[in-house]
């Protein structure tokens, strides 16, 4: 959990909407191997070797929003979905009866430096479900359940040309490569300023997602119709030329 705080912390930023652009559909497939499994409640981690987990990302490279901060330049893209079966790593359903539900799904590429000498350009896919049992008549506190998948590139740089203003091309380049893999399923009861009490089944898994292939997008019906009209027009033109001869 602590390792994600620099990535998931809420910070002030200046957002700039990018101009509209046509979306380029991206469907990319990876083979995931989990190498470490951690107990969130105790912090104990063990080495594992669970491979053969298929992961598919469906997104596009259209940039919708940009953030600029002193140590971070980020470009949001998507919408993005992540399909993966993590039953071999563990899973448990929400143990609470939620009164409030909010879902967060975001993805971005970034050039950032979290207080170190090395910045990184990464592709982060966050698929987060947050359940809160805090209602109007409840005492201060909340019950939280989340399932999250996070992918990132761990490439570091030292002034070697990593873009300070990521583009659609950077989205594509960041995804079409081997990525670091993180997955978490956790439930916790948090009251006031006391430490959260985690469900003993809560876990984190770390590993790698080896890039397998990018699937070519299926042409939309309108595109197919235009292609068909073009073929018909071409055939008609050829027939007219032959008839004149």
**DSSP states of 83-123:** EE--TTT------S--SEEEEEEEEEEEEE-SSSS-EEEEE
* Residues present in the chain in total: 245
Coil, helix or strand at residue 230: helix
In the prediction, which pLDDT does 67 show?
84
Confirm whether 197 is domain-assigned. Answer: yes
Closest CA to 15 of 76, 93, 94, 57: 76
Confirm whether 2 is domain-assigned. Answer: no
In the prediction, which pLDDT does 122 show?
75
Q: Which domain holds residue 161?
A: 13-220
Confirm whether 80 is domain-assigned. Answer: yes
In the prediction, which pLDDT does 216 show?
81
Please tell me what DSSP assigns to residue 2: G
In the prediction, which pLDDT does 59 show?
92
Please report, in tens digits, the pLDDT of each residue of the chain (245 residues total). Answer: 434 433 432 222 334 444 444 567 899 999 999 999 999 999 999 999 999 999 999 999 889 888 887 767 788 998 888 999 999 999 898 888 776 677 778 888 887 665 555 556 677 787 777 766 554 444 556 788 888 898 887 654 433 445 667 888 888 888 999 999 999 999 998 877 678 899 999 999 999 999 999 998 765 555 455 455 555 555 555 555 555 55
Q: Is the pTM of this model over 0.95?
A: no
Confirm whether 6 is domain-assigned. Answer: no
Confirm whether 111 is domain-assigned. Answer: yes
Cβ-contact 64, 76 below 8 angstroms: yes
Confirm whether 167 is domain-assigned. Answer: yes
In the prediction, which pLDDT does 97 show?
77
In the prediction, which pLDDT does 47 show?
98
Confirm whether 184 is domain-assigned. Answer: yes
∠ Cα 186 152 92 (to 5°):
20
Spacing of C-alpha 36 from chain mean position: 20
The total of structural domains in the chain comes to 1
């Amino acid at each position: 959990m602590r390792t994600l705080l620099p990535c998931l912390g809420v910070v002030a930023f200046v957002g700039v909407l990018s101009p509209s652009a046509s979306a380029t559909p991206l469907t990319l497939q990876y083979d995931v191997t989990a190498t470490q499994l951690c107990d969130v409640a105790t912090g104990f981690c063990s080495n594992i070797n669970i491979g053969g987990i298929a992961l598919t990302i469906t997104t596009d490279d259209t940039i919708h929003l940009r953030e600029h901060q002193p140590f971070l330049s980020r470009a949001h893209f998507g919408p993005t979905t992540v399909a993966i079966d993590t039953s071999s790593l563990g899973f448990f359903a929400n143990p609470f009866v939620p009164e409030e539900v909010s879902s967060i799904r975001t993805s971005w590429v970034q050039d950032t430096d979290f207080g170190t000498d090395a910045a990184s350009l990464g592709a982060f896919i966050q698929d987060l479900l947050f359940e809160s049992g805090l209602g109007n008549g409840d005492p201060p506190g909340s019950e939280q359940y989340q399932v999250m998948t996070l992918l990132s590139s761990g490439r570091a740089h030292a002034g070697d040309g990593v873009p300070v203003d990521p583009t659609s091309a950077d989205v594509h380049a960041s995804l079409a490569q081997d990525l670091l893999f993180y997955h978490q399923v956790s439930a916790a009861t948090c009251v006031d300023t006391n430490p959260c009490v985690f469900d003993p089944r809560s876990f984190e898994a770390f590993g790698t997602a080896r890039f397998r292939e990018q699937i070519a997008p299926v042409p939309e019906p309108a595109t197919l119709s235009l292609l068909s009209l073009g073929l018909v027009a071409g055939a008609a033109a050829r027939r007219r030329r032959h008839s004149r001869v």
